Amino acid sequence: MDTLEEIISYSTTLKLPYLKQNIIQILDTAKKNDQTYQDFLHKLLHNEMLLRDERSREKRVKNAAFPATKTVDDFDLAFQKSISKRQLNELCELTWIDQMYNLILLGPPGVGKSHLAIALGHKAIEAGYNVSFVTMDLLMHTLKTAEISRKSKGKLNRILGSSLVIIDELGYLPISREEANLFFGLISTLHEQASVIITSNKGFEDWTELLGDPALTTAVLDRITYRCEVITMQGKSYRLEHRQSLFES
Ligand code: ADP
Ligand code: MG
């Protein structure tokens, strides 16, 4: 093996993909630009860091399992007036995640609850946090099958390892007694460990009927709302207002 081959082999073992993929070009540039040893090392390690950060970000986006890409910039505040520019900016600063505040987004279908939740999730990923997105329906399935399914176990572990957990669509589908208990268990675990965003089409007054037990509902709300911002989003459905028609009228 010549030294070049050895460098490539070392960079594989040491997990330095930037060096591995660009060795020829790195050496060429160094020669051409008469780089000092210090500049050479600095540039090499800097690019290796950038690549590592980018891969970690990509991995976190994949693990988050967002159903769509939604951004804060795409969120039209003129359409959704229940939240002010100042409030949105404050949410985007993400200090609430460090403080483990929860966010509850309430409102009828189409007002932008999921959009806002996903957009904040993306912001959190850019800032380096682990995020998990899950619908209430998938969450119930995941909790019920975690013991018997490797896939569910993996999903649950990612949820438990996240700084921000987004639970979307609480209230659309009925919840059994067993599910309500599992939900309470998860909320108790996440309490004081992560921030949770919950979106729901049902107000708190309807949560008892949803979870099927006043004591359990009180216990869930007690934990979720201890440090919490509730935003009630009103107005028309963005979908209905911007309905796209296949045929010109
Ligand atoms: P909800 O979760 O409240 O039912 P969504 O967040 O899914 O509503 O919004 C429905 C669709 O309308 C999505 O495609 C979303 O991107 C879009 N949308 C909703 N509100 C806004 C808004 N204020 N600005 C831009 N797009 C919006
Ligand atoms: Mg939604």
**In contact, 197 and 230? CB cutoff 8 Å:** no
Residue 242 has pLDDT above 90, yes or no: no
User: Which letter, b or e, does each residue of 5-43 get, where b requires 16 or more Cβ atoms within 10 Å of its Cβ?
Assistant: eebbeebeeeebebbbebbeebeeebeeeebeeeebeee
Residue 163: pLDDT band (50, 70, 90) is: very high
Full-model pTM: 0.91
Considering only CA atoms, which residue is closest to atom 20 of ligand 1?
112
CB burial of residue 183 (10 Å; 0-12, 13-18, 19+): buried
Distance CA 179, CA 116 (A): 26
Q: Would the CA dihedral through 60, 63, 64, 65 be positive or negative?
A: positive
- Name residue 99's amino acid: Q
For residue 16, the CA-to-ligand 2 centroid distance in Å is 41
Cβ neighbors of 143 (< 8 A, separation 6 or more) are: 152, 156, 179, 182, 183, 185, 186
pLDDT of residue 244: 77
Counting atoms of ligand 1 from 1, which one is nearest the CA of 168? 2
Q: Residues 178-229: pLDDT tens digits?
A: 999 999 999 999 998 999 999 999 999 999 999 998 999 999 999 999 999 9
* Range list for CATH 3.40.50.300 in the chain: 85-241
Q: Is the pLDDT of residue 15 over 90?
A: yes
**From the alpha carbon of 118, which atom of ligand 1 is closest?**
6
Which H or E element spans position 197? strand 195-200
Rounded to whole angstroms, the maximal C-alpha distance in the chain is 74
Quote the pLDDT of residue 248: 63
DSSP of 48-110 = HHHHHHHHHHHHHHHHHT-SS---STT--TTT-TTS-HHHHHHHHH-HHHHTT-EEEEE-STT
Q: pLDDT value at position 1?
A: 76
Which ligand 1 atom is nearest residue 78's CA? 23
CA of 166 to the centre of ligand 2 (A): 11
Least confident of 39-43, 65-69, 160-164, 174-178: 174-178
Q: Which pLDDT score, from 0 to 100, does residue 46 have?
A: 97
Superfamily of domain 85-241: P-loop containing nucleotide triphosphate hydrolases (3.40.50.300)
Share of the chain above pLDDT 90, in %: 90
Q: What distance in Å separates the CA atoms of residue 84 and residue 155, rounded to the nearest whole number?
A: 34
Q: What is the mean pLDDT of the chain?
A: 94
Which pLDDT score is estimated for 167? 98
pLDDT at 235: 85
Spacing, Cα 77 to ligand 2 middle (Å) = 17
30, 40 Cβ separation under 8 angstroms: yes
Pick from 77, 115, 244 the residue to mutate for probing ligand 1's pocket: most ligand atoms within 8 Å of its CB.
115
- 241: confidence class by pLDDT, cuts 50, 70, 90: confident
247 pLDDT band (50/70/90 cuts)?
A: confident
Are the C-beta atoms of 229 and 99 separated by less than 8 Å? no
Q: Which atom of ligand 1 is nearest to the CA of 79?
A: 23
The tens digit of pLDDT for each residue in 77-92 reads: 999 999 999 999 999 9
Residue 134 has pLDDT above 60, yes or no: yes
- Confidence check: pLDDT of 249 > 60: no
Nearest listed ligand to the Cα of residue 109: 1
Among the bound ligands, the one closest to the CA of 106: 1
> Which residues contact ligand 1 via a Cβ below 6 A?
70, 74-76, 79-80, 107, 109-115, 199, 238-239
What local confidence, expressed as pLDDT, does residue 245 receive?
75
Report how far ligand 1's centroid is from the alpha carbon of 70 (Å). Answer: 9
From the CA of 169, give the closest atom in ligand 1.
2
